[in-house]
Amino acid sequence: MKKTVIMMLGSMVLCANLAAGEEHYEHRKKSEKMTETDPLYVSECAGCHMAYQPAFLPKRSWKKMMLTLEDHFGVDATMEKEDEVKIKKYLLANAGDVKRVGGEFAEFMRSIPSNETPLSISKIPKFVKEHREIEKRLVTQKEVRSWANCAACHTKAESGNYSERSIFIPNYGKWDD
């Protein structure tokens, strides 16, 4: 008897968790802040780089990304299968071509040719165009290192704000287009 009750309680908890999980991965509303707070996404992806907003890439890019984790920009980014499934679901639900995104995210999406599947956000035509005037030495300097380091210059990048007003380039200063 006792055992049955415990089992029943156990399965109730399990169901509740699954239900919460479903809810969790629904699209975020447009008005919501773009700071990535999903604990799994942050722990698995933001150990090595900023937690990029999934809206920067279309669904097809994230699908390809999750299939090539063994060689993720030259680095091993493999994870447990269970986590991989959850993260993929999260990325696909929040990709730039599934949710209604505004501002620069929408422009990024529109600039990608439909027959291309970019993996680097920094190779997206709109990104290239927006950064064309930045001298290479400002990117390779040790305070920045690479295009992957958004927050080195976009001081509010983590919250999804890439506006010109929040740009401050190390050893250069404010950016005035």
Binding site for other proteins (CB under 8 A): 46-50, 71, 73-80, 143-146, 148-149, 152
Closest CB to other proteins among residues 50, 106: 50
Closest CB to other proteins among residues 49, 63: 49
Closest CB to other proteins among residues 49, 126: 49
Give CA–CA dist 88/41, Å, rounded: 9
At closest approach, how far in Å is the CB of 128 from other proteins? 19
In the Cβ-directed half-sphere of 29, how many Cα atoms lie within 13 Å? 2
Output the CA torsion sign for 175, 52, 69, 108.
negative
In the Cβ-directed half-sphere of 84, how many Cα atoms lie within 13 Å? 13
For the chain, state the CA radius of gyration. Answer: 19
At closest approach, how far in Å is the CB of 171 from other proteins? 14
In the Cβ-directed half-sphere of 105, how many Cα atoms lie within 13 Å? 21
At closest approach, how far in Å is the CB of 88 from other proteins? 17
Closest CB to other proteins among residues 11, 120: 120
At closest approach, how far in Å is the CB of 35 from other proteins? 16
